[in-house]
């Protein structure tokens, strides 16, 4: 029959909180309870009867608690098939009582690793008996209900109430799926811990925390986010983050992480910076970033590396933007910014911690290390007769950081720690440069004395020639072309300076 009455239960859990109401409900239904160790004592302290697994098996808990439930009298009672007479005969012959409900959670392995504990403490949190019990009960879902997390306790109580102590096949199968979700996630965390040292090229990802998004990249696409955003952000105001918001937020967080010395503000659109500047304070940095492109800023993602002050909030309050991210907000700034009900305000609590990026591709996945290389003055190789000035070097570092986080092919033009314009995602580097020059002029910037950054080398001298004619005086690029010297020679002929970094920053 699909419906099964629960007459017996095995309970052995690490976390005892929220368990008492479950025990009370089982006793109300006259369910026989088997238990071990600390869980058994917990039930006894509640004043309820409980049978010891040790008495059932005839064996005590041994090896410091490593072996408690690994016994045929336990697993036979869980795995015995109630619709097969041979199984029932064997259960009776070996005096194995059937077990209808298994309530077991797992040692906190993931939490112990995250705490920075010593390896021996971590190893002791590799659960053996618990995960075996969960898998056994889930496998035999036709007869056994599996509760594998304290998060399911209330659902269990509701189930017992509505079914008067009985469960249906569909209900048991649902909880079996939840059990295998928990056990598979647990095994992946263990593998990934052990693989830190061996470094086997394996891709094993499991993330149980998730949120359903309004839709994906477009309204006709379904979308989810898997992960715990609350570890990185506190949302203070506004509507739910969308799929596109999240993609842009990651780009913004990665970009602003490059700037940790001066107050810096950036405005992004479709993952590219349309404005970014460093200045004496955040309000001024915002104003300079906004000046870079007053059109694209509409509907953008804003991010700051410093507290949003009242002055900064007043400067941006009339701009329509999707998201603002900052490490802090003054109370007066919040009051101003909350005037628009859908405006998303986030406090960033941590930087990106993942050192790898994964993407589904064709019939598989590609994985790479994040581009964690930031070009500094120490990386610059001066290759022209005229050495770049200190002012130019500072601007080149700034421009190089922005280029690293801009879609290829890209050219970035900057001066005085301000983005003047960029050419983004062009199929030709020449087109990217022409786009940047035209855009800078459209927004009223004089490029005389500006600098240029390229995410990759120049195969021909055409880009430096175009840049020179526009007034640009210094260039940063990776170098590495067989025609590098042609670009160097042209720069020398125009008294320009150029530095090589030796590092390409493609971004697709």
pLDDT at 258: 96
Rg, the chain, Cα only: 31
Task: Give percent of the chain above pLDDT 90.
Answer: 86
Taking the C-alpha atoms of residue 230 and residue 264, their distance in angstroms, rounded to an integer, is 24
The pair of three-digit structure tokens given for residue 400, joined into one six-digit string: 């190089």
Instruction: Tell me how crowded residue 172 is: count the other CB atoms within 10 A of its CB.
Output: 24
Sign of CA pseudo-dihedral 286, 287, 288, 294: positive
Taking the C-alpha atoms of residue 377 and residue 383, their distance in angstroms, rounded to an integer, is 14
**Which of 36-50, 318-332, 399-413, 427-441 shows the lowest mean pLDDT across its residues?**
36-50
Region 320-339 average pLDDT:
97
Region 417-429 average pLDDT:
96
Give bridge partners of residue 454 from the DSSP assignment.
Answer: 411
Instruction: Please give the helix or strand (H or E) that residue 88 lies within, else none.
Output: helix 85-93
**Which of 2-16, 56-70, 270-284, 405-419 shows the lowest mean pLDDT across its residues?**
56-70
Give bridge partners of residue 367 from the DSSP assignment.
Answer: 358
pLDDT at 236: 96
Single out the residue of 187, 166, 508 nearest to residue 368, CA to CA: 508
Task: Inform me whether the pLDDT recorded for 69 exceeds 80.
Answer: no
pLDDT at 54: 86
Task: Give percent of the chain above pLDDT 70.
Answer: 100
Q: Residue 126 — very low, low, confident or very high, per pLDDT cuts 50/70/90? A: very high
Catalytic residues: 139, 270
Region 192-203 average pLDDT:
86
Residues in the chain: 508
* Average pLDDT of the chain, as a whole number: 94
Beta-strand relationship, 321-326 and 300-304:
parallel
Q: 247 preceded by cis ω (within 30°)?
A: no
pLDDT at 71: 86
pLDDT at 234: 96
The pair of three-digit structure tokens given for residue 339, joined into one six-digit string: 């005037």
Q: For residue range 137-164, list pLDDT tens digits in order.
A: 999 999 999 999 999 999 999 999 999 9
Q: Choose from 57-71, 116-130, 482-496 the range with maximum mean pLDDT.
A: 482-496
The pair of three-digit structure tokens given for residue 49, joined into one six-digit string: 């009867």
Task: Inform me whether the pLDDT recorded for 91 exceeds 80.
Answer: yes
Give me the half-sphere count of Cα atoms (radius 13 Å) on the Cβ side of residue 53.
Answer: 29
**Which of 150-159, 350-359, 371-380, 385-394 shows the lowest mean pLDDT across its residues?**
350-359
Q: Residue 438 — very low, low, confident or very high, per pLDDT cuts 50/70/90? A: very high
Beta-strand relationship, 497-500 and 381-382:
antiparallel
Q: Residue 37 — very low, low, confident or very high, per pLDDT cuts 50/70/90? A: confident
pLDDT at 57: 82
Task: Inform me whether the pLDDT recorded for 18 exceeds 80.
Answer: yes
Q: For residue range 473-484, list pLDDT tens digits in order.
A: 999 999 999 999
Region 180-187 average pLDDT:
95
3-class DSSP assignment, residue 225: strand
Give the contacts of 283 (CB within 8 A, at least 6 positions apart). Answer: 309, 311, 312, 315
Q: For residue range 336-369, list pLDDT tens digits in order.
A: 999 999 999 999 999 988 888 999 999 999 999 9
Taking the C-alpha atoms of residue 198 and residue 166, their distance in angstroms, rounded to an integer, is 48
The pair of three-digit structure tokens given for residue 210, joined into one six-digit string: 């998730």
Region 418-424 average pLDDT:
97
Beta-strand relationship, 497-500 and 474-477:
parallel
Q: Classify residue 429 as exposed, middle or buried by CB count within 10 Å of its CB (0-12, 13-18, 19+).
A: buried
pLDDT at 1: 54
Give bridge partners of residue 101 from the DSSP assignment.
Answer: 9, 145
Between the alpha carbon of residue 377 and those of residues 390, 393, 396, 400, 401, the distances in Å are: 10, 7, 9, 11, 12
Between the alpha carbon of residue 197 and those of residues 50, 116, 366, the distances in Å are: 44, 16, 21
């Amino acid at each position: 029959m699909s419906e099964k009455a629960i007459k017996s239960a095995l309970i052995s859990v690490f976390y005892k909180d929220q368990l008492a109401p479950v025990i009370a409900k089982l006793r109300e239904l006259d369910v026989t309870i088997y238990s071990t160790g600390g869980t058994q004592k917990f039930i006894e302290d509640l004043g309820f009867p409980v049978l010891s697994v040790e008495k059932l098996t005839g064996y005590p808990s041994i090896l410091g608690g490593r072996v408690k439930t690994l016994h045929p009298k336990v697993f036979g009672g869980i795995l015995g098939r109630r619709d097969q007479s041979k199984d029932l005969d064997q259960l009776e012959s070996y005096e194995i009582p059937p077990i209808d409900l298994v309530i077991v959670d797992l040692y906190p392995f993931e939490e112990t690793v995250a705490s920075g504990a010593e390896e021996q403490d971590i190893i002791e949190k590799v659960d053996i008996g618990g995960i075996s019990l969960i898998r056994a009960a889930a496998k035999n879902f036709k007869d056994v209900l599996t509760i594998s997390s304290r998060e399911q306790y209330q659902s269990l109580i509701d189930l017992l109430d509505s079914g008067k102590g009985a469960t249906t096949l569909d209900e048991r199968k649902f909880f079996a799926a939840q059990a295998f979700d928990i056990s598979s996630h647990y095994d992946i965390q263990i593998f990934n811990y052990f693989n830190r040292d061996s470094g086997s090229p394996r891709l094993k990802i499991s993330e149980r925390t998730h949120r359903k998004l309004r839709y994906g990249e477009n309204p006709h696409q379904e979308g989810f986010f898997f992960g715990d955003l609350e570890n990185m952000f506190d949302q203070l105001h506004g509507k739910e983050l969308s799929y596109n918001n999240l993609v842009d937020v990651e780009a913004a967080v990665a970009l602003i992480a490059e700037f940790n010395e001066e107050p810096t503000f950036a405005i992004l659109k479709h993952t590219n910076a349309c404005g970014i500047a460093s200045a004496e304070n955040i309000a001024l940095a915002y104003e300079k970033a906004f000046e870079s492109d007053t059109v694209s800023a509409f509907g953008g993602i804003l991010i700051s590396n410093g507290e949003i002050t009242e002055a900064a909030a007043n400067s941006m309050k009339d701009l329509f933007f999707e998201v603002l991210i900052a490490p802090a907000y003054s109370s007066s700034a919040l009051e101003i910014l909350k005037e628009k009900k859908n405006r998303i305000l986030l406090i960033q609590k941590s930087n990106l911690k993942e050192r790898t990026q994964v993407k589904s591709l064709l019939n598989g996945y590609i994985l790479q290390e994040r581009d964690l290389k930031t070009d500094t003055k120490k990386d610059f190789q001066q290759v022209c007769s005229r050495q770049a000035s200190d002012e130019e070097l500072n601007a080149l570092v700034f421009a190089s950081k922005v280029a690293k986080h801009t879609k290829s092919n890209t050219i970035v033009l900057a001066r005085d720690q301000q983005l003047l314009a960029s050419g983004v995602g062009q199929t030709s580097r020449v087109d990217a440069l022409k786009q940047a020059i035209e855009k800078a002029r459209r927004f009223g910037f004089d490029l005389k004395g500006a600098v240029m950054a390229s995410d990759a080398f120049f195969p021909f001298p055409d880009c430096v020639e175009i840049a020179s004619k526009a007034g640009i005086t210094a260039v940063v690029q990776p170098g590495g072309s067989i025609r590098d010297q042609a670009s160097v020679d042209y720069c020398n002929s125009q008294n320009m300076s150029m530095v090589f970094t030796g590092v390409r920053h493609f971004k697709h």
